[in-house]
Structure 1
Amino acid sequence: MLDPKFVGDTIAAIATPPGDGGVGIIRISGKDARAFAATVFRPGSHTFVDFIPYHLHYGHILDGHGHEIDDVLTAFMPGPNSYTGEDVVEINCHGGRAILAAVLHEILHQGARLAERGEFTYRAFMNGRMDLTQAEAVAEMIHAPTKAAMHLAQVKLSGVLGKKIRELRTRLEFLRAQLVVAVDFPDDEVECLSPEELQQTSAQVRNEITLLLSAVDRTKAWREGALVVLVGRVNAGKSSMMNALLGRNRAIVTDQPGTTRDYLEETINLNGLNIRLTDTAGLRKTDDAIEAAGLKIGRELMDKADLVLFMIDGTIPLPADALETAESLDPEKTLVVLNKADLPLFNSGNAVPLLASNIESVTVSAKQGTDIDRLCERIRERILQGAGQPDPDELAPNARQAALLRHALEELEGLEQDTALGIPYDLLSVRLESACDLLSGMTGEITSNEVLNAIFDSFCIGK
């Protein structure tokens, strides 16, 4: 948890992911960053006098005994024109774990403190280098599952969302100022905001908030990926289908019923869309406690799924219990997969009872790979139904931001209703103040330490 009393410390951390790589970076930030780096750095050029800002300097990092640890490239970025707004030094080493640990040890030995999770970005926020929407966008960039999600995060990282929110809040603050005038000078001849103008301006801001919120659902699949769950009776071919979609043998495939007793989950990418593909236990009555627990989990996953692939063995009539399960599913988020089209006993008529329920079906052979590409295409189209490809300039709030916007929307709706009822202006200003505070919470101008810690604790160390 970040403690404001330590913000003045000079901090250091490994800024690249764990593991071995060609290059690894040690980041240092704080008033002593340059001094600490200079102490352990031996320049490779005899003309070197001091770190030139925004230049790479070649040299070596030495340990406490003067022995070389690694040859490096070092860059110094003075504050306030750095990522954190403080003096920052980045040391580019070879990416071995032992090398990075050794270089970091020497920096910490000079007096730097190991950075907390997200502390570099936290300092950038505290020093005014970015607002909270931009800070959150940093994490969203790092964890973006798709190129589209990366672009959505980039838009917010540029500050466009924060700017939009501040513009909306400014309009509401202007309304508050006019209400204050009306309350403080009720008998003076001061031009005052009419109830109609108050409602009109509130409605305009509310409509723009509604537009921002509409992007949350529209871009959810691109930002977070989608959950696709394979369900069906035992031996319907769910595990074979999972292997076919993955292009490799991930699930065990046998003729023995009940092979999948829990659930398996893997990620696939369908033309830029991330899919969490989950294979559940086959539907059947069982006295096996483990299998029964797996079936319970499968039902919970079906409720959470963005799309359910209901697998049917096309060589046998649809059993009554399978039909009962299928009919309980939402046709809008269900796709029937009629499997085993390669076998002589296959009969597409076995899917007729389900087709009567207006559930779309696709015929495939998971074992032979027949029409798997067509199935993938339909999965992608069904998940993105009504969403389409996101606009490169789309403003898509995250879950925390969307919650604040919804609350602000409620306050504005209440404001307009109260205005129509003739509620006094001094009481109406309470609604406006609440809406303004909620918008300020989005950009971080009014945000509790608990919220800040929750946000930055989700970052990796070194960012």
Structure 2
Amino acid sequence: MSTIAAIATPPGSGGIGIVRLSGPRAKEVLARVFLSHSPDFENFRPWRLHRGRMLDRHGEELDDVLAVFMPGPRTFTGEDMAELHCHGGPFLLQAALESVLCLGARQAERGEFSRRAFRNGRMDLSQAEAVAELIGATSREAVRLGLNRLDGQLGRQTVALREELEDLRAHACLGVDFPDDEVPALAPDAFASAVEGVAASVRRLLAGKRRARLMQEGALTVLVGAANAGKSSLLNALLGRERALVTDIPGTTRDFLEERCDLEGLPVRLVDTAGLRTARDGADADPVEALGMALTRDRLGAADLLLVVLDGARLGEAGARATTCPDPVTAEILALAAHAGVPPLLVWNKCDLCAPDAPDSWPPRWGRHLPACMVSATTGAHVEELARLARRQLLEDAVPGDGALAPNARQALALERALEELEALSADIAAGQPHDCCLARLDTAAAALGEVTGLGTAAEVLDRVFEHFCIGK
């Protein structure tokens, strides 16, 4: 095994910078680049910071540092590890790294420290992925979900389910391998019940899949509506700053503009789009605006939530009381949303100019079945209420699952393959298939569950997982 080294702190200048080593020669390399200030220093006392001078590759003093040696196997990687804590200037860090590389360490690859931890049994693959997800977390909720996986909750549950399938396979094999002995075969009803129990547990784990995607990628929330409805003003109000250009001229927004914000722990990607107009309103007059409207329609189908912005000043009280949607642009948007399966949220904007206050006019009669909110993007009235309503709509069907667990995309794919095999197995049992014909599906389902924790995972899959890690972790 080689000894690897890398800078473990972010690029740029800082108060402290860390160079990390892992491998059998970690202590030896550390001793050759460190000169203690203490006259009584003889050897590195494990897990204790020692102050001294860092030497460059020519043996010249370079910086005043702290050094620590951590013997394996109770380390992050399971190997001997060492760290140099120096001042965080780019030159000093690079010089420290060059020193340890010249003395026998090699540059670590992306995610190589975490990969060694996985290989040495210090964590399973789901925990290793949680390390990278915690580093990239953009909200408190994403941190919470990552910590649950880092703690091994998802791994332990999938391991337990896999063991249930292994036990079930052993019982099924008895009737196949010893048909003439007095060994009771697994009854079809008991077999089917056990398989369905595991399948139900897998479904509960998969229930958090969408929540994990929203927390890691951010919920795509698209503001759509007729031209001059106030979408750009509403984007600015939700962000709390002037980001989008706002004028009274229809068609000011030609392209979509994406910004990130946080809705009480939920990361959201807000997208302001070009306002839609009909041919009667002159939509065909400007080819650039037409391209922007085409982008709006494309973006609409990829959204997690649509904020359908209505120009309350233009629609007026009559527009709220109408039994059918009086605005052809809004009617088109709602039809596109229904076809794409994207939930819409009606936003009556400019309520400072016109606000339907009759009990039977809000939500509008034609949109009584939809969630709705009145706001004024100009004055900021009810914008916080809109943010809370949007958050509820985004998380409405993104249930946390067992213990707030939420598998990432790779883990969910493995769980879905396992569930597919288990459901097919249930159908085979109901059709009266013999036990020996069912064993292959049991094996495939167990193998898919093993992929969640990395058991039997191919090297190329591991490469794809760890290549997204930062160097030094």
Residues 97-106 or 212-221, more deviating: 212-221
Q: Is the 8 A contact 2:212 2:406 kept in 1?
A: yes
Q: Is the 8 A contact 2:65 2:84 kept in 1?
A: yes
Q: Is the 8 A contact 1:30 1:86 kept in 2?
A: yes
Report deviation, 1:329: 2.6
In structure 2, the residue matched to 1:164 is: 157
C-alpha distance in 2, partners of 1:143/1:206?
32
Change beyond 3 A, Cα 1:204–1:323: closer
Q: Is the 8 A contact 1:151 1:392 kept in 2?
A: no
C-alpha distance in 2, partners of 1:378/1:183?
57
C-alpha distance in 2, partners of 1:324/1:397?
36
C-alpha distance in 2, partners of 1:327/1:299?
11
Q: Equivalent residue of 1:52, what SS?
A: coil
Report deviation, 1:241: 1.1
Report deviation, 1:426: 1.5
Map of 1:62-81 to 2, 5 A cutoff?
A: 62-81=55-74
**Aligned partner of 1:326 among 330, 334, 344:** 334
Corresponding position: 1:128 with 2:139: no
Q: Is the 8 A contact 2:204 2:402 kept in 1?
A: no
Report deviation, 1:323: 3.2
Report deviation, 1:462: 0.9
**Aligned partner of 1:206 among 199, 203, 210:** 199
Corresponding position: 1:313 with 2:311: yes
Q: Equivalent residue of 2:45, what SS?
A: coil
C-alpha distance in 1, partners of 2:425/2:151?
32
Map of 1:439-454 to 2, 5 A cutoff?
A: 439-454=449-464
| TM-score, with length taken from structure 1 | 0.91
C-alpha distance in 2, partners of 1:355/1:264?
32
Change beyond 3 A, Cα 1:322–1:41: same
**Aligned partner of 1:417 among 427, 438, 444:** 427
CA-to-partner distance for each residue in 1:193-214, whole Å, 9 max, x for gaps?
Answer: 2222211211111111111112
Map of 1:188-207 to 2, 5 A cutoff?
A: 188-207=181-200
CA-to-partner distance for each residue in 1:288-338, whole Å, 9 max, x for gaps?
Answer: 454333323322221121211112222223643343333433497212222
C-alpha distance in 1, partners of 2:7/2:24?
19
Q: Equivalent residue of 1:304, what SS?
A: coil
Q: Is the 8 A contact 1:312 1:336 kept in 2?
A: yes
In structure 1, the residue matched to 2:373 is: 362
C-alpha distance in 2, partners of 1:179/1:324?
56
For 1:291, the aligned partner's letter is: E
Map of 1:398-417 to 2, 5 A cutoff?
A: 398-417=408-427
In structure 1, the residue matched to 2:239 is: 246
**Aligned partner of 1:426 among 402, 416, 436:** 436
C-alpha distance in 1, partners of 2:332/2:449?
47
In structure 2, the residue matched to 1:104 is: 97
In structure 2, the residue matched to 1:270 is: 263
CA-to-partner distance for each residue in 1:213-271, whole Å, 9 max, x for gaps?
Answer: 12223554344431111112222211111111111111111223322221111111122
C-alpha distance in 1, partners of 2:129/2:384?
36
Corresponding position: 1:255 with 2:266: no
| TM-score, with length taken from structure 2 | 0.90
**Aligned partner of 1:30 among 11, 23, 26:** 23
Change beyond 3 A, Cα 1:56–1:290: farther
Report deviation, 1:178: 2.2
Q: Is the 8 A contact 1:355 1:361 kept in 2?
A: no
Q: Percent identity?
A: 48
Q: Is the 8 A contact 2:306 2:342 kept in 1?
A: no
Q: Equivalent residue of 1:379, what SS?
A: helix
For 1:199, the aligned partner's letter is: A
Change beyond 3 A, Cα 1:72–1:294: farther
Q: Is the 8 A contact 2:57 2:98 kept in 1?
A: no
In structure 2, the residue matched to 1:298 is: 296
**Aligned partner of 1:371 among 382, 397, 410:** 382
Corresponding position: 1:397 with 2:407: yes
Residues 358-367 or 228-237, more deviating: 358-367
Q: Equivalent residue of 1:309, what SS?
A: strand
In structure 2, the residue matched to 1:140 is: 133
**Aligned partner of 1:229 among 183, 199, 222:** 222
For 1:460, the aligned partner's letter is: C
For 1:425, the aligned partner's letter is: H
Residues 262-271 or 216-225, more deviating: 216-225
Residues 217-226 or 31-40, more deviating: 217-226
In structure 1, the residue matched to 2:48 is: 55
C-alpha distance in 2, partners of 1:449/1:435?
20
For 1:379, the aligned partner's letter is: A
For 2:105, the aligned partner's letter is: A
Report deviation, 1:99: 2.0
Change beyond 3 A, Cα 1:51–1:353: closer
C-alpha distance in 2, partners of 1:124/1:375?
45
Change beyond 3 A, Cα 1:324–1:395: closer
Residues 437-446 or 180-189, more deviating: 180-189
In structure 2, the residue matched to 1:12 is: 5
Q: Is the 8 A contact 1:326 1:354 kept in 2?
A: no
Change beyond 3 A, Cα 1:156–1:446: same
C-alpha distance in 1, partners of 2:246/2:212?
36
